[in-house]
A and B are shown apart, each in its own frame.
Chain A
């Protein structure tokens, strides 16, 4: 049924640390690798080695430029660091299904293929029932669902349900592929419904946030904002461009002078 189950105690999900993510795409690749053969597979690519490869990914890592801000004006800086500024930075932003508590993608489904599990809150697609009408992807503001034209059905993150409960795997490996692959431990998996769990404590300590909270989808996954930097000052725009370093070519060795001449052409 696409009617939502009564809210469960257990809310499995991810906590993603935007402070430590380095944008290496290991999560996206590990996810693609595992899920191409897991219960959500195949994740078909069209024209994979051609001019315009096109395929389904459950994780996509965006990179954004965030303008610098005085810590006193920043929402994260205010309480933590009184002085200084956080300079402009690059923030890498992995985007995947947030396993919302109020997933509109589930309620709009006309066939009952989309459902939210009562026992742990994971949102799944039963691909044998999906008719490929794409309405669920329209209902998701986070772009979590992607349609596979080859399979004719909708695909989405399963929170690696075939890993986390898999008794064939060592206990330490019973977590989503993206979490296990992350080299900077920017991704954490756990029960966000239990206030005593490690992930809940992490969210509380770092001020974990929802994406687009104004829509009321109540995402389970949380994002930890970047920590404010200390001691830095905001540089006026154009500062870097204005500093013209002068080079005394006479002081260089002949070899370097020749190199400088060649490179200056």
Chain B
């Protein structure tokens, strides 16, 4: 599949944004932050900004951006529509929480709003993943680790950004991030291992010639490329898959580990290490998302 830049940007940035909002929500649901406004408002602002940048980039990816509002109508059947609806609904508890934080209110209402924010944020990310999981013509995306992968990436990148923006103690935050990142690395390795052995259905089945003889392509319909071969028949990244996997793992799992070691050795640099880890995880998620698209084979390629 062709990895459209806007979709990569959308899934990684809004994933991180909703992850950040989810951790903020959990934080409020569990133990309200001290009533310093900035400590709540900065992560909220950053989370909403990332989610909004991601959503806008996904809108500009459309052929008709001005009609984007129509995408909120078909939530009964379409995961894309569900994602749009939930993405928008997440703004309600987020803005409500901003208002409560502004007033310094940390009463029971902030607990409830926090729970709502966390649930809606994770549900939005889950819908993003389900858009891909539900596509039968792309077997790699139907893998059972796709949904947990999306959620864990959102949680990891969101957690590091939350730790940065809410000024949490850097070293304990990094310990959590490293454990999470190692689990995520194991998940991705297992996904990649399975995807490498995944076969599409046969060309014979695609052409109604099953059991009649082995089918090989003799001539394409047209001499030139078309929408299908450009969008679904993307091959560039499969060529570099090995290297890109190592790069992704180094960025999203290796760098947090190094950052943690740095923070423990030189506590004065702990905050710096936390930022480095947060940015590396975001870039690593971007590379991983690129592979997620580029490595996935669409069944229409059977015809070509």
A223 touches which of B77, B81, B136, B208 (Cβ 8 Å): B208
Say how far A148's CB is from chain B's closest CB, in angstroms: 8
Known contacts A63-B218, A110-B70, A86 near B205 by CB under 8 Å: no
Give bound CA distance, A153 to B63, whole Å. Answer: 6
Which A residues are in CB contact (< 8 Å) with B209?
Answer: 18, 64, 66, 91, 225-226
Give bound CA distance, A134 to B222, whole Å. Answer: 22
A75 touches which of B65, B78, B211, B215 (Cβ 8 Å): B211
Q: Is B176 interfacial (CB-CB < 8 Å)?
A: no
Interface, chain A (partner B; CB < 8 A): 1-3, 18, 23, 25, 28, 52-57, 60-69, 74-76, 86, 88-91, 93, 95, 104, 107-113, 129-135, 137-143, 146-147, 149, 151-154, 209-217, 223, 225-226
Q: A112–B73 contact, CB under 8 A?
A: yes
Known contacts A74-B212, A75-B211, A140-B137, A3 near B77 by CB under 8 Å: yes
Q: B300–A133 contact, CB under 8 A?
A: no
Q: Is B196 interfacial (CB-CB < 8 Å)?
A: no
Say how far B87's CB is from chain A's closest CB, in angstroms: 12
Q: B231–A212 contact, CB under 8 A?
A: no
Q: Is B36 interfacial (CB-CB < 8 Å)?
A: no
> B73, B74, B131, B222: which has the most chain A beta carbons within 10 Å?
B74
Give bound CA distance, A23 to B214, whole Å. Answer: 19
Give bound CA distance, A149 to B138, whole Å. Answer: 23
Q: B80–A135 contact, CB under 8 A?
A: yes
Q: B78–A53 contact, CB under 8 A?
A: no
Question: A66: nearest residue on chain B (CB-CB)?
Answer: B213
Say how far A206's CB is from chain B's closest CB, in angstroms: 11
A56 touches which of B137, B212, B227, B300 (Cβ 8 Å): B227
Question: A208: nearest residue on chain B (CB-CB)?
Answer: B208
Say how far B88's CB is from chain A's closest CB, in angstroms: 13
Q: Is B104 interfacial (CB-CB < 8 Å)?
A: no
Q: Is B197 interfacial (CB-CB < 8 Å)?
A: no
Which A residues are in CB contact (< 8 Å) with B61?
Answer: 133
Say how far B45's CB is from chain A's closest CB, in angstroms: 28
Binary per-residue interface labels of chain B (237-260) against chain A in the complex, 1 for a CB within 8 Å, 0 otherwise = 000000000000000000000000
Give bound CA distance, A154 to B62, whole Å. Answer: 11
Q: A65–B218 contact, CB under 8 A?
A: yes
Known contacts A63-B219, A215-B136, A225-B209, A131 near B226 by CB under 8 Å: no
Known contacts A66-B215, A129-B70, A212 near B63 by CB under 8 Å: no
Known contacts A52-B224, A57-B226, A131 near B68 by CB under 8 Å: yes
Give bound CA distance, A261 to B201, whole Å. Answer: 52
Give bound CA distance, A113 to B211, whole Å. Answer: 38
Known contacts A2-B77, A131-B70, A139 near B135 by CB under 8 Å: yes
- For chain B, what secondary structure do more than half of its interface residues adopt (helix, strand, loop), or is it mixed? loop
> How many residues of chain B are within 8 Å of chain A by beta carbon?
58
A139 touches which of B68, B137, B212 (Cβ 8 Å): B137
Give bound CA distance, A153 to B67, whole Å. Answer: 11
Question: A74: nearest residue on chain B (CB-CB)?
Answer: B212
Q: Is B94 interfacial (CB-CB < 8 Å)?
A: no
Binary per-residue interface labels of chain B (200-234) against chain A in the complex, 1 for a CB within 8 Å, 0 otherwise = 01010111111111111111111011111001100
Q: Is B23 interfacial (CB-CB < 8 Å)?
A: no
Binary per-residue interface labels of chain B (92-103) against chain A in the complex, 1 for a CB within 8 Å, 0 otherwise = 000000000000
Which B residues are in CB contact (< 8 Å) with A53?
Answer: 224
Q: Is B134 interfacial (CB-CB < 8 Å)?
A: yes
Q: A68–B213 contact, CB under 8 A?
A: yes
Known contacts A64-B216, A149-B63, A210-B208, A143 near B228 by CB under 8 Å: yes
Q: Is B18 interfacial (CB-CB < 8 Å)?
A: no
Give bound CA distance, A52 to B229, whole Å. Answer: 14
For the A-B complex with A76-B212, A91-B207 known, give 16 more contacts whose Cβ atoms are closer than 8 Å: A2-B77, A62-B220, A63-B217, A64-B209, A67-B214, A75-B211, A76-B211, A86-B213, A91-B215, A113-B70, A133-B71, A138-B231, A141-B136, A141-B299, A142-B300, A225-B208
Which B residues are in CB contact (< 8 Å) with A108?
Answer: 77-80, 131, 134-135
Q: A143–B212 contact, CB under 8 A?
A: no
Known contacts A64-B215, A213-B205, A131 near B228 by CB under 8 Å: no
Which B residues are in CB contact (< 8 Å) with A212?
Answer: 201, 205-206, 299
Q: B73–A110 contact, CB under 8 A?
A: yes
Give bound CA distance, A199 to B154, whole Å. Answer: 52
Give bound CA distance, A147 to B61, whole Å. Answer: 13
Q: A211–B206 contact, CB under 8 A?
A: yes
Known contacts A93-B207, A110-B71, A138 near B298 by CB under 8 Å: yes
Say how far B65's CB is from chain A's closest CB, in angstroms: 8
B40-87 interface with A by 8 A CB criterion: 61-65, 67-68, 70-74, 76-81, 84
Question: A90: nearest residue on chain B (CB-CB)?
Answer: B218
Say how far B220's CB is from chain A's closest CB, in angstroms: 7
